[in-house]
Amino acid sequence: MRILHLLASPFWSGPAENVALLAMSQRALGHEVTVAVDRKRRDITAEEPAVPRFQALGLLDEGGLALSVKSPPWEIWGDLRALRRRQVDVVHAHFTHDHLVARWGMPKDAVRIRSIHAPRSLRRSLPEASAYTVPASHLQAKLEARKRPVQVLPALVDPRFEPPVDREALRRTLGLQGTYLVGMISTFQQSRRHALGVEAFAAFIQQRPEARLVLVGDGALLEATRARVAERGLTGSVTFAGYQQGADFTKWLQALDEVWILGLGNDWSARAAAQARACGVRVVAVKEGALPELADAQVEVPTVEAVVASALSGAGASTGHPTNERIAKDILALYERAAEFRR
């Protein structure tokens, strides 16, 4: 099967890693797979660019698509013509811009799949596709009226996320030995509720005084969070680890005892929770996106009391997460159902 993923973003963030892992798993199953990304926006300073990552993985599509929301009309027209000439069986669109390009530039006989990565994309104006994926099971019902196959696309997990051989030794290398480590691993933005996390940790250490809070990431609210930590007198109990990526990010995650995920950004597959579970780290999470399906302990409402109660509950998840191969096979089966539906 010849598969082209469309990802109109220049950033290695949001759904990009999940798309890359899906494409790699599909390729490992014997299919021809490439990923087209935004090739227009190159002056990227705030985030890691996607092009080098996909290039290093051998997945970067070289079919001449600019695939950018910043493209003028004539460049978008060029993308439509370039896509229409492609010899592919499946065009898998991941963002709204991708879906519109695929809608008007669809290659002959190919099936069009649309992945919804966040609820804001579930609009009445959503163009038709042969099949859809959603990041969490509770969103499937929102597409029932489309009368098309709908399937959950869970978070895929890079094989590097696994329990550490020696967690205590790893902590020593990070300067974190001898503590119970609670982590938050996300961009400092409003939706991630770092302020709630700091307040909850202040209450948590009344019960677990040996605990330490590790905040991994950067973002607009980083300094405001530092100020809040200082105001609550927690400076000695909180580590700001900064932005981490690749093997370094994996090490910080592996060092934790549990992670608090108190909100999601633009990828509701809750990949961080799946990564944490793969590393043997307990997950305490709010009820957003796919988090209820991955959490060891759910936070029913985002309050200090609820976070602390869930953290102290000792609850653990009873279900496992599907392998990347299993997820890829399920999505390939969705492609087949979509093709049958068209016939």
What domains, with CATH codes, occur in the chain? 2-154+323-342 (3.40.50.2000), 167-312 (3.40.50.2000)
116-130, 143-157, 174-188: range with lowest mean pLDDT: 116-130
Structure confidence at residue 46 (pLDDT): 60
Residues 6+ apart with CB under 8 A from 43: none
Q: State the average pLDDT for the chain.
A: 93
**Structure tokens given for 196:** 């709630």
In sign, the C-alpha dihedral spanning 255, 261, 262, 263 is positive
Comparing 317 with 187, the larger pLDDT belongs to 187
Q: Please, what's the largest Cα pairwise distance for the chain? A: 65
Comparing 267 with 214, the larger pLDDT belongs to 214
Structure confidence at residue 47 (pLDDT): 72
Judged on CB neighbours under 10 Å (0-12, 13-18, 19+), 166 is exposed
- Model confidence at 320, pLDDT cuts 50, 70, 90, reads confident
Residues forming a β-bridge with 134? 152
Distance between CA 130 and CA 334 in Å, rounded? 10
Q: What are the tens digits of pLDDT across the range 61-105?
A: 999 999 999 999 999 999 999 999 999 999 999 999 999 999 999
Query: For residue 256, is pLDDT > 80?
Result: yes
Which of the residue ranges 196-205, 259-268, 307-316 has the most confident prediction, judged by mean pLDDT?
196-205
Distance between CA 3 and CA 59 in Å, rounded? 11
44-48, 49-53, 164-168: range with lowest mean pLDDT: 44-48
Query: For residue 300, is pLDDT > 70?
Result: yes
- Taking the whole predicted model, whether its pTM rises above 0.85 is answered as yes
Distance between CA 106 and CA 112 in Å, rounded? 8
Comparing 317 with 211, the larger pLDDT belongs to 211
Structure confidence at residue 162 (pLDDT): 96
Structure confidence at residue 210 (pLDDT): 94
Query: For residue 121, is pLDDT > 90?
Result: no
Distance between CA 277 and CA 279 in Å, rounded? 5
